[in-house]
Amino acid sequence: MITIPETDLVVHPLCLGSNIFGSNADEAQSHDVLDAYSAHAGNFIDTADVYNQWVEGHVGGESETIIGSWMRSRANRATMVIATKVSKMDRRPGLSAANIFAACEESLNRLQSDYIDLYYSHEDDATVPMEETLAAYGQLIAQGKVRYIAASNFLPERLRLAMKISEENYLPAYCAVQDLYNLVDRTTYENGMAQVVAEFGISNIPFYGIARGFLSGKYRPGVTEVDSKRAAGAREYATEKGFAIIAAMDEISRAHNDAPLAAIALGWLRAQPTVSVPIASARTVTQLNEIIQVIELTSEEIEKLNRVST
């Protein structure tokens, strides 16, 4: 288990993403995946109020609702660490105090919970003073409805400003970021945000840890059909560099008893100095069993992946 820096949240080394719950995976399939994750001592689930409003006929909140029904039926809320988010839902946009209070209540109702362990600002909102946003989180923390706060999709300079405002005004501070980071997409995070995260001693809990499935190894030169609703997004990584990374991962996999490539990709993320816990999602129990494996890479293997992915 891992303790997220600047918190007392003790979590499994894999955070289970749930952005496909209620879309690619229906409630029964989602509950099967959650059961399998829990059977491996998994306890850290990431969701958001906006999941899955982009699906026709959906309005958002479907993922939270499925997680809430699962926790209620398994009577396990006290053993789970739940992260959700505010600011990107169509009917609950932004980071005003009024919106945060309303969105939090709605998320709590869907999750069938009295509290949220980790509450993210899902994206920055430059129209609202940061003091207002952070003070609103402070009220929720004081009320016991939120334990910790974090930031996602911020620019580095905006995160640094938020941390400065927190310190100067005795307001809650973001304890983590959730940013895009994986072996085939390193630049966005490493060119700025990683430095700010290190400066404040917090950590990244990165999303798209296996690059929308590309790093699972399903995508190979000449392969034209892949059974995945994310195939279109994953194929953007099907480049010479992407396939070179896959080839290097194949070699490392063989040295680890043919470990799943997804587990190798997540192992590389865990080895990065500012990463605490990577996020990955699974539509089926079979996929869950691939990403749940915790592989400890050697320094030579990490360096090999660093070279080929630079």
Catalytically annotated residues: 51
Interatomic CA distance for residues 107 and 117, integer angstroms: 12
Dist. CA 123–CA 235, nearest whole Å:
26
Q: Is 239 exposed, middle or buried (0-12, 13-18, 19+ CB in 10 A)?
A: exposed
Tokens 């983590």 identify what position? 176
Nearest to 173 by CA among 190, 149, 194: 149
Give CA–CA dist 53/75, Å, rounded. 27
In the block, which residue shows the tokens 């509290």?
115
Query: Token pair 């039926």 is at which residue?
Result: 73
**Cβ neighbours, 10 Å, residue 17:** 24
Q: Which of 299, 292, 298 is nearest to 16 (CA)?
A: 292
Locate all alpha helices (DSSP H) within 86-217, ordered by sequence: 97-111, 130-142, 156-169, 187-188, 194-200
Backbone angles phi, psi at 151, to 5 degrees: -130, 145
Q: Is 262 helix (H, G, I), strand (E, B) or coil?
A: helix
